[in-house]
Amino acid sequence: MARHRILGRAGAGALLSIAASACAPPASFRPASSSMGATRQELGVGLAAIGPRPYVNESRSYVGQAWASRRISRALRVSGIAAADSSALAAGGALAWLPLRSPLLSAGFEAELGYAFGALSMPMAVSPSRWLTIYTAPRVGNFGDVLTPSVPLGASFELPGGFALRTEAKVSWADLSYYNRRLTLGLALAYQFDVTSR
C-alpha cells in the first residue's frame, strides 16, 4: 500500500513538472476579425520574446508559434495551435464565438485547450482602414501551473497576396502578483485564403 502511495505521489509530481515546463502559446496573433471576413481560412507562424520578471535575474526566452484557423459558420471559428521553445512543445485547439461582426468592429469569446494549457479570452478587433486592424484579447489562462491573466495589444497590417504582418505586445501577471509581471513582444506572418462572398 505504501509503495502505491509513493508511486502515486511520484507520478503526480512528474505530471506537475511536465505541466510546469510545457510551453503554452504566449501570444494571440489571431484577431477577432481574422478568417471572419471574405476569407474562410488562415495559416500563420510567429515568434514571441518573453521578458524577465522585475527583481528576478532571468533571461529573455523565445517561443515559436503556429496556427491554422477556419471559419465553420458565420460566427464560429476553430483553430489548431502549436508552440515550442528550446525545451518544450505544446499543441491544442481553440473555439471562438464572434457574434459581433461589422466592417469596423469584431468581438466575442474564445476558449483554448491543449497539452498543459487552457485559457478563456475576449477577442476584440477594430479596423479603421482596409489595411490596418488593431486588436486585443484580455485573457485568463495558465503559465506553467500558475493562473495568469494577461492583456495583449496588437496590430495587423494587410499585405498583397492575402498575407498579413502582425506585431503584438502583451503584459501578464502570473499568480496576480506584480513581481511576476512579464512583457511579451511578438511578430507573426499570416496567410488568408479560401475566398467567400462573406
pLDDT value of position 37: 62
36 backbone φψ class: left, alpha, beta (φ>0; ψ -120 to 50): alpha
Number of domains the chain is built from: 1
Domain range for residue 23?
2-195
**What is the Cα–Cα distance from 33 to 54, expressed in whole angstroms?**
34
pLDDT value of position 195: 66
pLDDT value of position 197: 46
pLDDT value of position 51: 95
pLDDT value of position 179: 87
Comparing CA positions, the residue from 19, 29, 11 lying closest to residue 88 is: 19
What CATH number does residue 81 fall under?
A: 2.40.128
What does the block give as the cell for 97?
A: 464565438
Entry pTM: 0.84
CA 23 to chain centre: 11
**What is the Cα–Cα distance from 181 to 25, expressed in whole angstroms?**
17
Residues 6+ apart with CB under 8 A from 129: none
For each successive 10 residues of the chain (198 residues), what is the average pLDDT?
40 36 78 76 96 90 96 94 90 96 92 93 94 96 86 96 96 88 96 72
